Amino acid sequence: MKIDSQQNTDRIVLIVDDQVENLQIIGNILKVYNLKKAIATNGFEALEIAQKIKPDLILLDIMMPELDGLQVCKKLKENPKTSDIPIIFLTAKTQEEDIVAGFEAGGVDYITKPFKTSELLSRVKTHIELKIQKDIVAKQNESLKELIKEKNELMAIAAHDLKNPLQVIIGFAKILEDRTNLLPDNEIAEIAHYIRISGEGMYRIITDLLDLNSAEENQIEFNIVLFELNELISGIIDKYSVACKEKNIKIHFEHKNKQIHIQADPTRVMQVIDNLISNAIKFSPFDKNIYIKTRIIERNEDTNILRFEIKDEGPGIAPEDMDKLFIKFAKLKNRPTNNENSTRLGLSIVKKFLELMGGKIWCESNYGNGATFIFEIPQKISNTKDRD
Ligand SMILES: Nc1ncnc2c1ncn2[C@@H]1O[C@H](COP(=O)(O)OP(=O)(O)OP(=O)(O)O)[C@@H](O)[C@H]1O
Ligand SMILES: [Mg+2]
């Protein structure tokens, strides 16, 4: 990044000199770069202002009464709040020991009086540019730290969620190992069933994490084809028939017998709808209804919108949870009502997939009165053959 006279209005240089005319001269010279200036006429004032406004550069006179420039510099370097502000000394002499003392105190450069405009400008320019670079690196460091923290959290949660099913698998495998000959076939089949369910649970957590990762990195390839949506939805509903029966939940699919052909990636659309249906079942109490609707809305000459709606009679979403709904691993009030799995990754994947398909998702809910999740995916007109 280059210092640019149009862009430096937020960069501040603190000028410290007990001679007012010097402050004026330097202030005028700095106008070339559009830098903001602050001034201090003694060392104490300089320390106070530096701490308060955190300038990007300090031009510091060495020879000042009471607290001289070298002492001010040392104090600034000792204070973590001001220690990284670059300091250029202003010195009347070019005596070697003065210059060495300046560098030892923590200065980055020096300028001799009387000032040459070009010299002052080029030194200020160099150090402001360095400061800008340093700020960029510091920011990048911060976001890297944030990223590492997030990845660590993710690892901890994933490891925690994988541990339970793994323990089930190990436990049942041990039973089989110890008592193979004593167990009747039906018990072996039951154990195999739990091992499979646990394995599938682990597999799903891992694929969810990989999917989310690819989606966040924009590395998902969508396989866009023309397919019939309502049949796909009926298939997902069938998959959950046992879970629904257990909780006496009835799914009403309004457009079951109509056809809606859409152009999208059927696997990803299936993942999206699967999660929404599983959520509606998972968070609803027993003996409730779920209503699903699909339709094509005409938007403009060349775009239609596919709209999917799923409404349940569950707890709804607490107002304070609304913002966290689509955030991975966020802790929300609602918990599964029949001991179902909950990794809290589903909706974040759903949102990301829909966004990558050019669509969007939102939730409407009166807390205590169920929730409706709605998503839309735009469709080029030639791709949507069936209207509502
Ligand atoms: N239909 C719903 N009714 C009430 N709360 C819901 C509903 N759908 C989602 N939630 C809340 O939002 C949270 C996040 O949903 P999400 O689908 O991301 O996670 P999950 O279903 O708990 O786990 P996963 O989908 O990864 O198995 C849920 O844990 C639940 O608290
Ligand atoms: Mg879910």
In this structure, which CATH number among 1.10.10.350, 1.10.287.130, 1.10.8.640, 1.10.510.10 belongs to the domain 142-216? 1.10.287.130
> Which residues face 247 on adjacent strands?
none
Place of tokens 């913002």: 323
Q: What pTM value is reported for the model? A: 0.69
324 touches ligand 1 (CB under 6 Å): no
Task: Ligand 1 pocket test: pick from 251, 273, 279, 281 the residue with the most ligand atoms within 8 Å of its Cβ.
Answer: 279
* Span 336-369, pLDDT tens digits: 999 888 888 999 999 999 999 999 999 999 999 9
What is the CATH architecture of 225-383?
2-Layer Sandwich (3.30)
* Span 47-90, pLDDT tens digits: 999 999 999 999 999 988 889 999 999 999 999 999 999 999 99
User: Cα torsion for 52, 141, 327, 153, to the nearest 10°?
Assistant: -110
CATH code: domain 12-115 is: 3.40.50.2300
* Span 150-187, pLDDT tens digits: 888 888 888 888 998 999 999 999 999 888 678 888 99
Ligand 2 centre and the CA of 240: distance in Å? 13
Residue 1 has pLDDT above 50, yes or no: no
The two tokens of residue 375 are: 């998503």
Q: Percent of the chain at pLDDT above 90? A: 64
- Most confidently modeled range among 15-24, 277-286, 295-304, 374-383: 277-286
Strands (DSSP E) found in 303-345:
303-312
281 touches ligand 1 (CB under 6 Å): no
Q: H or E segment at 365?
A: strand 360-365
250 — pLDDT class (breaks 50, 70, 90): very high
Q: Residue 64 and residue 17: Cα distance in Å, rounded?
A: 7
* Span 81-106, pLDDT tens digits: 999 999 999 987 666 778 888 899 99
Task: Ligand 1 pocket test: pick from 312, 334, 343, 369 the residue with the most ligand atoms within 8 Å of its Cβ.
Answer: 334
Contact between 232 and 258 under an 8 Å Cβ cutoff? The reply is: no
**Residue owning the nearest CA to atom 17 of ligand 1:** 346
Q: How far is CA 13 from CA 54, 57, 81, in A?
A: 9, 5, 16
201 touches ligand 1 (CB under 6 Å): no
Instruction: Answer whether the bond into residue 114 is a cis peptide, omega within 30°.
Output: yes
| Domain residue extents for the chain | 12-115, 142-216, 225-383
* Paired sense of beta strands 360-365 and 289-298, if any: unpaired
